[in-house]
Amino acid sequence: MDYFVMSGNAIVAKWENNRLNILNERLCPLYLINKKDFMGWVTGRALCTNRMNADKLRNILHLKYINQTGIALSVNAAKITDNYWVKPVESKLCYEDIRFTDDKFADLAMKGEMGRLDPEKNYAGTRTPELTNTGFCEKCWKKIKGEWWLYKRVSDNERFSEVFASNLGRKMGISISECVKGRGSVKSKDFTDNASVNFEAASGFIDERMDYIQIVNRLYRFAPHIIPDYIRMLVFDALIDNRTRNTNSYGILRDTEDGHIISLAPLFNHNETLLALGYPDRVDRSGDGQIKRVNALFKYDRSLRNYIPQLLEEDLFEVFDAVGIRVKKKLLLPYVLNAYVRIVTGKDMGFFCSLYGELDRSI
């Protein structure tokens, strides 16, 4: 079948005879511009079928034997966080026809529970944002007072890590998604305000195999104004030991009217950081791989050090208190602070500091 790729009600590309033609580069998704892979783009927008409750969701929607491409196409590959979608070339659909309006499948998607669903009703063909809610953990979109919130099911350690990261980022002046803790879950508000701006993952313009230096050089040519926030992200990830940041877990915001790049998107997805795998064995962070890579970038271009965000010891105390979850601060506080000191000083090897209350301020 042939399809139009849409941005709102504007046609931006056409998939015809297994070939992609870009018709409006200004508004077209960057992934399609750079990779010319229509089916890869559509499939990447689909529900992860390995999630625990994915089969329950697919069964009730009569999509049990449909692959990920078909799952995405069943809702026109529409998402909450951008205004891109697809339609058959003969279709008369407009953007308002395919937008998501309710969250009736939220409990089923995250908890495997029927919630407000009627077990006797036929839900085949029903539209739900859960079919394009990507990622591996159990999650769902809920609409609260007209605003979309993403709920994620997490362990206690992941819950602390997510909320701590959100609070620490804001304390450091980093653009980051607000995260609110719940019982066995966390929730984050849709930072696109229901696709008032378009979120595009970095996978659309960055190769996953690139190192930090290569990415910065790419950004100098592509969008130099987002480099300061990119550097802040690298430093922040090193502090919270974020080893899972990839090109699908950060990205940019684009204007829906003219397609220009507004900024790096607020940071998100921090449940697998810091405490997610348990308490660290050592807190001095000597030889830490992420810190080494950040310091190597700063040695390559010393001017980038100007974008290191400020972090004070008292800031960390405030963040721990604000999170309101009991943890071993005597381990975690120096673990975070030592990473910061190693980046600020450029000393990623050697032992110094560092038990809580005995931090070496002379370094």
All domains in the chain, ordered by first residue = 3-153 (no CATH), 197-345 (1.10.1070.20)
Which of 59-68, 301-310, 347-356 shows the lowest per-residue confidence on average (mean pLDDT)?
347-356
C-alpha pair distances (Å), 5 with each of 66, 113, 137, 206, 214: 21, 34, 28, 22, 31
- pLDDT tens digits for 319-343? 999 999 999 999 999 999 999 999 9
- pLDDT tens digits for 149-183? 999 999 999 999 999 999 999 999 999 999 999 99
- Percent of all residues in the chain with a pLDDT value above 90, rounded to a whole number: 93
The packing angle between helices 227-239 and 212-222, to 10°, is 160
Count CB-CB contacts under 10 A for residue 314.
Answer: 8
Structure-block tokens of residue 240: 């919270």
* Interatomic CA distance for residues 207 and 119, integer angstroms: 44
| pLDDT at site 363 | 33
Confidence check: pLDDT of 220 > 80? yes
pTM equals: 0.93
Mean pLDDT over the full length of the chain: 94
- pLDDT tens digits for 109-153? 999 999 889 999 999 999 999 999 999 999 999 999 999 999 999
| pLDDT at site 26 | 98
User: What are the φ and ψ backbone dihedral angles of 297, each rounded to 5 degrees?
Assistant: -65, -40
C-alpha pair distances (Å), 165 with each of 151, 169, 171, 176, 295: 16, 6, 10, 9, 21
